[in-house]
Chain A
Amino acid sequence: MAYYILHLVTLACILATAVIALQLLVSGTGLLSVAQAVFLGIGAYSGALTATRLGLDGVTELLVAAGCSLLVSLFVSIPSLRLRDDYFAIATFGLQMITTGVLVNWVGVTNGPLGISGIGPFSLLGISVRSPFALLGLALLVCVLAVAIASSIQASRYGLVLRAIRSDELFAQSLGKNTLWFKVKIVGLSAVLASVAGVLYAHFLTYIDPASFTLMDSVQLLSMVVIGGGRPLDAAAGTLLLVLLPEALRFLGLPAALAANLRQIAYGILIVVVVAFRPQGLFSRKQRAT
């Protein structure tokens, strides 16, 4: 039981990092993305391939993951962010579909639907993270780092400009802010953060396949932001809640077929209830009057 809970908390920490990264876009800048699982996936595959095929250590894994995700993010953000906000959401949808296609079909590199198995423990500078406790510690550290980065951006002048973009982009432009560049950079940072979470995710699962990084997963990460709220810790709390909720339903002793459906229904209801009654998120105190 203790290991079971340990497992869930570690999972929550890893996902929370990707969710906080997504929150920088969604609540921070007003950019809706349904492709956060893509960047989690790029990190996971970069890490897994670098480790299993090339036998390189964690630092290289992180660098490869960050580089690949940054490149992909630029590929999507620069063209789509020139247009109005909605087009970014559509572009991320396209990216999500393409990525799933590539992961499934590019068998030579990704091993297709079979995925990559036998991913060993994460090792950083010669120290191998073997025990579940150590992995939890690492995941928690990364998550805390993500909270710190996101909070400091929120408090910074950069964050203020992002909020200006969210609220009224033309207003920000009329004050001489190059809003395209502000958006491109935050999308890049979000992608890199998510890919770091992805590297840990691969080592945590020890086996990854395309089914872990689908549109449903992206939507799930997005719902964690919506349900959590506007501050980084709210998003982390939202993640923990949505990781634990389906597990709690498991203890109801329902038949497996029913339980899976019930989980979807519970998700849907939760999102509707939050959007209707607490649009600022379950854990955010600030009431937005709009």
Chain B
Amino acid sequence: MTLECCHISKAFGGVQALADVSIRFPPEGIVAVIGANGAGKTTLIDTVTGIVRPDRGQWLLDGRDITGLSTEKVAQTGIARSFQGIRLLPDETVLDNIALAVPDRGSETLFSAFLHFKTSTRRQSVVEEANRLAGLAGLNGRRHDSVRWLSYGEQKLVSAVVTAATGARILLFDEPLAGVHGDGVGQIVSFAQQLASNGRLVVFIEHDLAAVRRLAATTVLMDHGTVLAVGPTAEVLERGDLLEAYLG
């Protein structure tokens, strides 16, 4: 699956959040999007996931125009995202949060709610997939805890797992490491690496350049709603003149 955006622009009042942004993403691997606050990174993700409608420009998935599709339609085409702030169901268990994301349209009909009394949340194939992902992320010990009782770092990890559980081939993580310390960073990083090694495209917004260097093969540097540079991470991070824009 190839994802690209062509000439995307978006203004909020007088602020040009995105100005003629065009990026062609690689079909797989890890891509970092870096840039100062207000560079338009989150807005870019919002425009592809139907949360913000761009003023101009198109998002193309395998050449098909997906601009302006609703959030759920975009997710159904195989593009999933996480949010900067944590969006999970705090009163449900880790496993139920993951299972919710695992696609299983058959058991989501109202009719099946009558037929599978007490069983349909726990359909075998869904549970197996949820367990597999929890194991992959190193969350085995916390599967049956309510998300509410997890540390911030663990919740960030669960967010990433939930996003991946949708089965999407393209995953957009909005600052997956922000506010995460210690072992948490390593867990999320290695989870993202495992996703990418399975032929998925993982795009993540990040401020921590060490993490970017470690993870991303390709880096997109944004500033004031425009793309300053796209290329192999080492090259982008070496261009001191551009990084000045980022570091201020």
- Residues on A lying within 8 angstroms of B by beta carbon are 148-149, 151-153, 155-161, 163-164, 167-168, 170-179, 182, 185-186, 189, 288-290
Size band of the interface chain B makes with A: 35 or more
List chain A residues, Cβ under 8 A from B80. 174-176
A152 pairs with B121, CB closer than 8 A: no
Closest 6 A/B residue pairs (Cβ)? A176-B75, A156-B113, A158-B113, A171-B87, A173-B71, A156-B120
B104 touches A189 (CB 8 A): no
**Residue ID in chain B nearest A289 by CB atoms:** B148
Distance (whole angstroms) from the CB of A25 to the closest CB of chain B: 13
CB distance from B206 to the nearest CB of A (A): 20
A134 to B120 Cα, complex, angstroms: 35
User: Is B107 on the interface with A (CB-CB < 8 A)?
Assistant: yes
Q: Of B19-27, B88-96, B175-183, which stretch is located at the interface?
A: B88-96
Kindly state the separation between the CA atoms of A178 and B121 in the bound complex, as whole angstroms: 18
Check B108 against A161 for contact (C-beta < 8 Å): yes
Chain A nearest CB from B203 CB (Å) reads 15
The reply to whether the CB of B118 lies closer than 8 angstroms to some CB of chain A is yes
Contact of B121 among A155, A174, A177, A289 (CB under 8 A): A155
Is the CB–CB distance between B96 and A160 below 8 Å? yes
Which B residues are closer than 8 A to A by beta carbons?
Answer: 49, 51, 70-72, 75-76, 80-81, 83, 87-92, 96, 99-101, 103-104, 107-110, 112-114, 116-118, 120-121, 123, 126, 148, 162, 166
Q: A149-B114, A156-B116, A161-B100 are in contact. Are A171 and B108 (CB under 8 A)?
A: no
Query: With a CB–CB cut-off of 8 A, which chain A residues contact B113?
Result: 152-153, 156-159
**A259 to B: closest C-beta gap in Å:** 41
Please determine whether A164 and B75 come into contact, CB atoms closer than 8 angstroms. Answer: no
Determine whether the beta carbon of A170 is less than 8 Å from that of B51: yes
Among A148, A164, A170, A173, contact of B100 (Cβ-Cβ < 8 Å): A164
Complex Cα distance, B122 from A234, in Å, reads 25
A152 touches B75 (CB 8 A): no
Contact of B110 among A177, A179, A186 (CB under 8 A): A186
Q: B89 and A158: CB pair below 8 A?
A: no
A163 touching B121 in the complex, CB below 8 Å, given contacts A153-B113, A176-B75: no
CB within 8 Å for A176 and B72 given contacts A161-B100, A164-B89, A289-B148: yes
13 CB contacts below 8 A, A to B, read A153-B113, A163-B91, A167-B90, A168-B88, A170-B51, A171-B83, A173-B70, A173-B71, A174-B83, A175-B72, A175-B75, A175-B101, A176-B76
For the complex with contacts A158-B109, A158-B113, A179-B72, 8 further pairs of A-B residues with Cβ separation under 8 Å are A153-B113, A156-B117, A163-B91, A167-B90, A170-B51, A174-B49, A176-B72, A176-B166
